[in-house]
Amino acid sequence: MKGEGKRSKARCLAYVAAFVVFQTAIILIFALTVMRFRSPKFRFGAVTVENFSTGNGTSPFFDMKLMAQVTVKNTNFGHFKYENSTIIISYAGMPVGEAAVVKGRVRARQTKKFNVTVDISSRKLSSNSNLGNDIASGVLSLSSQAKLSGKVHLMKVLKKKKSSEMSCTMGINLGTRAVQDLECK
């Protein structure tokens, strides 16, 4: 009888230990997935060009409208609420157009998509000696920068500031008047 009592006590301890290990694993998995704050991804999905015109010759210029689809991908298990922001389009490191992004929210594990239209003109450049060469080459390289600042909310009580930076590059092919090689970091 004494031996049996010892054995059932040992078995009971083994169950408790197994339960503790199991519980710890569940908590760890929860902490590493659900409770983790991740930076959302902010980028251009697709970009098209309209009303494009360029001048080739002694006074080179370009004018166009970029119609861009913007995506904000939120991989958190809680919503992301962001502030107003501005997307700046640059040519040769100088701004040639900008678009406003109005504050909003992205639901948990969702990607929000919206469209922006950017008026782009080389008249906004103060100077650029290389513009003629770039236009003659047939491809204009543009880049976009923006920062989206906001907060990720988890389980209604936890909040953490998170921001996301957009940094994309693209080429405008002057022959096809289309965007090529859109890449976002």
Ligand X SMILES: *[C@@H]1O[C@H](CO)[C@@H](O)[C@H](O)[C@H]1NC(C)=O
Q: Which amino acid is at 127?
A: S
Residue 69, interface with ligand X (CB under 6 A)?
A: yes
Number of chain positions touching ligand X (CB under 6 A): 15
- Cα separation of 156 and 177, whole Å? 47
- Cα separation of 183 and 185, whole Å? 7
Q: Which of residues 139-158 bind ligand X (CB under 6 A)?
A: none
Based on its alpha-carbon atoms, the radius of gyration of the chain, rounded to whole angstroms, reads 27
Cβ proximity of 85 and 148 under 8 Å: yes
Of these, 13, 95, 138, 159, which contacts ligand X (CB under 6 A)? 138
Residue 56, interface with ligand X (CB under 6 A)?
A: yes
Between the CA atoms of 78, 74, 80 and 116, what dihedral angle is there, to the nearest 10 degrees? -150
- Cα separation of 95 and 68, whole Å? 17
Q: Which of residues 96-125 bind ligand X (CB under 6 A)?
A: 100, 102-103, 114-115
Taking the least distance from each CB to ligand X, the nearer of 3 and 175 is 175
**Window contacting ligand X (CB under 6 A); options: 18-26, 50-58, 87-95, 148-156:** 50-58
Residue 181, interface with ligand X (CB under 6 A)?
A: no
Q: Which residues bind ligand X (CB under 6 A)?
A: 50-51, 56, 65, 69, 84, 100, 102-103, 114-115, 135-136, 138, 174
